[in-house]
Chain A
C-alpha cells in the first residue's frame, strides 16, 4: 500500500483520525507521518489543556446544553465556544461565566483573587501599596465562599503586612 499523502513511498504507519465525528483512516509513509504528527502536536495546545482542567469528567447532556446556551451578552461567545477555543471573547465573558471561571482560575493560578496593581490607582509614583481594608474585604469574601485555602493565604498576607507596619514606626497605621 502506498502513502495517502505523497503517493510515492510504502505506507508503514496507519492512523485513525476523527474529524467532526467522521472517521478517516490514513495510511502514511514514515516521512509524511512524522510531518503529520508535528502538525498534530502544534495543534494540541493550551485550549485542550484548559478544557481538560475545567472539569475532570465528560459533562452530561444537560451540562453540554447549559454550556452551549450560556452566552456573553457583550460579545456573544458561549461557554462551549470557550471550551473549544480556550480563549474568552471579551472582558464581559468573565462576568457571564463567573461561576465556571472562578474555579478554573483557581486551578490555574492557585488563587482567584487579584493582588496586583489596578488601573484606577494609576498615577504618580504608582508603586502599589497593599490596601489593608481591601485585603480584609477579600478575606471576608473568601470565607463566605468557603475558599478556606485562599482565606488562609490572605490571612497570612494581612499578618505579614501588619508585622511590617509595626516594624516601621514612621509609617502611619492604616485604618481598617
Chain B
C-alpha cells in the first residue's frame, strides 16, 4: 500500500461509530516491548538498530492473520510524509525525529500500527473508534502473544516488561481515550475536572499526544501507572474515570440545551456559516469551528451532515494532508486558502 493511497481512505478511528461516539472520538492502547539483550534504541549502534528492525519485521511477517500490512522505513520518507503519518495518529511525533533504523508497520484499516525503534524497540498501537478500550485490548493482546512466540522480550518476573523509560515498566501499557468535551469547556468546568484527573495519576494531553496543547475542546486522557496492576485492571480504571467524564459532559450538554438553547444554536450555526463561506482559514480556527459543528451534529441541531464527514474534515485539513492532496509543498498562507477551499467544497451540499 502506497502512502498516498491512505489519502482516499478513512481511518478506523474516524468512523464515528462505537460506544459513546458522540463524546468519545477514539480509544487507543499501546504496548511497549523490547528485545532481550539488545540495547534500547537510543543506546544502540547502527548494526544493533538494524538487527532489531530485521528481527521484528521477520516476526511480524510470520503472523498470518495480519494481512495487508505495509512497512515504511522512516529514513526514506520526506518531512511531509512523516507529518502526514503523525496527523493520522499512526505514529508519534518522537518517531518522526532522528529517523535512524526507525520503521513503521501499519495495516490497511489503520487499526494497528507498530513503531520500530522508537523509544522502545516496539511500540505496538491499536486504535478503535468510540469508547472501546477492551476491544482494543483483545486485538493488541493477541498480536502481542503472537510476537512473543517469535521474539524474546526483555522481561522480569518482578518488574514485568522492561522499557527504556521506567515510567513504562511493568505492563508497558498506555491506554488513551480521546474525548470531545465542548459543553464542559463552555460551562467552565473542564479545569476543575482536569485538575482532579491529574490527582488520580492520569494525564491529559492534546490531540497529538505528548507535549501538545488541548485545542478545539479535544482532550486525550491516559493512565500514568503501568506497574502494580494487571492490564485489565488498568483498563477498568481508565474506563471508570471516562464513564464519569462522559456523564458530566452529558449533564453539561443537557443544561446548556435547556437553559441556553438560543445561544448554543447561534454559536453552532455561526461556526457552520463561517466554515461554509470562509476563503482563508487557519488550522486552529478550523478545529475550533469544527468542534462546534460536531456538537451541533451530536445535539441534532445540524441535521444530515453526519459525524464521519466532520471527523474526516478534522484530519484532511491538517497541513501535511493538504500538501499531499495538492501534490506539492504549500506555504502556510497557501495552506490557509486551500484549507478553506476544501471545507467549502465538502460542506456546500448541506
Residues of A within 8 A of B (CB): 42, 46, 50, 74-75, 77, 85-92, 94-95, 101, 104-105, 108-120, 122-123, 126-128, 130, 138, 141, 153
The answer to the question of B164 belonging to the interface, with a C-beta cut-off of 8 Å to chain A, is yes
Chain B proximity of A142: nearest CB distance (Å): 10
Interface segment, one of B34-42, B240-248, B339-347: B34-42
A90's partner among B37, B165, B166, B211 (CB-CB below 8 A) is B37
Say yes or no: A114 contacts B170, CB within 8 Å: yes
Q: A77-B43, A105-B169 known; A117 and B230 CB under 8 Å?
A: yes
Say yes or no: B227 contacts A109, CB within 8 Å: yes
Chain A to chain B: the 4 pairs with minimum beta-carbon distance, closest first = A111-B228, A91-B154, A114-B160, A116-B171
Residues from chain A with Cβ under 8 Å of B72 in the complex: none
Residues from chain A with Cβ under 8 Å of B171 in the complex: 114, 116-117
Q: What's the Cα separation between A113 and B225 when bound, in Å? A: 12
Say yes or no: B227 contacts A87, CB within 8 Å: no
Say yes or no: B145 contacts A46, CB within 8 Å: no
Chain A proximity of B41: nearest CB distance (Å): 9
The answer to the question of B128 belonging to the interface, with a C-beta cut-off of 8 Å to chain A, is no
Task: Specify the chain A residue showing the minimal Cβ separation from B145.
Answer: A122
Residues from chain A with Cβ under 8 Å of B142 in the complex: 126
Taking A87-B40, A115-B233, A120-B155 as known contacts, 9 extra A-B pairs with beta carbons closer than 8 A to each other, sorted by chain A number, are A74-B37, A89-B40, A90-B40, A90-B43, A91-B154, A94-B156, A105-B170, A113-B228, A117-B230
Q: List 16 A-B contacts (CB under 8 A).
A: A50-B165, A74-B37, A87-B119, A91-B36, A94-B159, A95-B156, A109-B170, A113-B159, A114-B227, A115-B230, A116-B170, A116-B171, A119-B152, A119-B161, A122-B148, A122-B149
Say yes or no: A85 contacts B167, CB within 8 Å: no
Q: What's the Cα separation between A43 and B228 when bound, in Å? A: 30
Say yes or no: B227 contacts A75, CB within 8 Å: no
Q: A87-B165, A88-B40, A91-B162 known; A126 and B141 CB under 8 Å?
A: yes
Interface size class of B (residues with CB under 8 A): 35 or more
The answer to the question of B153 belonging to the interface, with a C-beta cut-off of 8 Å to chain A, is yes
Say yes or no: B37 contacts A91, CB within 8 Å: yes
Residues from chain A with Cβ under 8 Å of B217 in the complex: none
Q: Which of A88, A92, A120, A126 has the most B CB atoms < 10 Å from its CB?
A: A88
Interface hits, B125-175 → A, CB 8 Å: 141-142, 144-145, 148-149, 152-167, 169-171, 173
A122's partner among B37, B144, B160, B165 (CB-CB below 8 A) is B144
Residues from chain B with Cβ under 8 Å of A87 in the complex: 40, 42-43, 119, 164-165
Chain B proximity of A127: nearest CB distance (Å): 8
Q: What's the Cα separation between A120 and B148 when bound, in Å? A: 8
Q: Which of B38, B149, B160, B228 has the most A CB atoms < 10 Å from its CB?
A: B228
Q: What's the Cα separation between A108 and B228 when bound, in Å? A: 11
Say yes or no: B230 contacts A110, CB within 8 Å: no
The answer to the question of B232 belonging to the interface, with a C-beta cut-off of 8 Å to chain A, is yes
The answer to the question of B336 belonging to the interface, with a C-beta cut-off of 8 Å to chain A, is no
Task: Specify the chain B residue showing the minimal Cβ separation from A150.
Answer: B228
Say yes or no: B39 contacts A112, CB within 8 Å: no
A91's partner among B34, B141, B166 (CB-CB below 8 A) is B34
Residues from chain A with Cβ under 8 Å of B232 in the complex: 128
Residues from chain B with Cβ under 8 Å of A92 in the complex: 37
Q: A91-B34, A114-B157, A114-B160 known; A109 and B226 CB under 8 Å?
A: yes
Residues from chain B with Cβ under 8 Å of A141 in the complex: 158
Q: What's the Cα separation between A69 and B225 when bound, in Å? A: 30
Task: Specify the chain A residue showing the minimal Cβ separation from B231.
Answer: A116
Residues from chain A with Cβ under 8 Å of B161 in the complex: 114, 116, 119
Say yes or no: B225 contacts A109, CB within 8 Å: yes
Q: A74-B37, A75-B43, A122-B148 known; A114 and B173 CB under 8 Å?
A: no
Q: What's the Cα separation between A141 and B158 when bound, in Å? A: 10
Chain B proximity of A150: nearest CB distance (Å): 8
Say yes or no: A75 contacts B165, CB within 8 Å: no
Task: Specify the chain B residue showing the minimal Cβ separation from A81.
Answer: B43
Residues from chain B with Cβ under 8 Å of A130 in the complex: 230
Task: Specify the chain B residue showing the minimal Cβ separation from A54.
Answer: B166
The answer to the question of B229 belonging to the interface, with a C-beta cut-off of 8 Å to chain A, is yes
